[in-house]
A and B are shown apart, each in its own frame.
Chain A
Amino acid sequence: DAGVTQSPTHLIKTRGQQVTLRCSPKSGHDTVSWYQQALGQGPQFIFQYYEEEERQRGNFPDRFSGHQFPNYSSELNVNALLLGDSALYLCASSLGLAANTGELFFGEGSRLTVL
């Protein structure tokens, strides 16, 4: 049973560029959330996708956008990259939206470095 998979694992971009990160949820899961984890900090919620729609969004600018596909996989796009966007981007999957649906499964993340 495959867990949450993310790609790429590492990437380096320069300021102003755009990046796309990809996530495949755990088998059977239909909800995908994205988190940003800066070095030495806890993960911060970016947004959540369910039924191909953005359901909730954290305190992130519009430069951060996403998409969910019919097979439940998801992409995170960041435009006009800033140095401060350097972080580990974690994808998490779950079944449904309710807070009592159990644990969140995380991938190993995509580490983005912006130079």
Chain B
Amino acid sequence: AQKVTQAQTEISVVEKEDVTLDCVYETRDTTYYLFWYKQPPSGELVFLIRRNSFDEQNEISGRYSWNFQKSTSSFNFTITASQVVDSAVYFCALSERTGTASKLTFGTGTRLQVTL
């Protein structure tokens, strides 16, 4: 069975600090997809990134960057120069090849609080 672990329940940083959110996953499949979602107080899950298991290149999008390491089954998310608007709950999720894009296994989330 697949599993996603986000060990950090809550992180609090001061604006402009860098912060890394950890994600460790378990799967028996060799082909799978990893996702990060942001959930602001409104409740809607906002898609941030999707990576497939064959693409281990790190990715950067503005202040966001992702580090995917198959050797350690980790898919960590870093926010550089954090801002108050980054405050939200962040979820890492996994979809196996035999499943569908709609059937995601989520971690328990990391609540990020960015203060002035």
**A residues adjacent to B (C-beta < 8 A):** 31-33, 40-45, 48, 55-56, 58, 88, 90, 92, 94, 96-109, 111
Contact = CB atoms under 8 A, between A and B. Distances in A.
A54 to B, nearest CB: 12
A108 B39 CA distance: 9
A106 B103 contact: no
B42 A104 contact: no
Contacts of A107: 44
A108 B43 contact: yes
Most chain B CB inside 10 Å of its own CB: which residue of A98, A104, A106: A104
Contacts of B99: 56, 99
Interface of B: 4, 32-33, 35, 37, 42-47, 50, 52, 91, 93, 95-97, 99-109
B45 A43 contact: yes
Contact of A33 (B4, B97, B102, B107): B102
B91 A56 contact: no
Contacts of B100: 31, 48, 55-56, 97-99
Given A43-B91, A99-B97, A104 B44 contact: no
A82 B49 CA distance: 35
B78 to A, nearest CB: 20
Contact of B108 (A41, A88, A102): A41
B107 A104 contact: no
Given A99-B95, A109-B44, A42 B108 contact: yes
A26 to B, nearest CB: 12
A99 B51 CA distance: 11
Nearest to B32: A99
Contacts of A45: 102-105
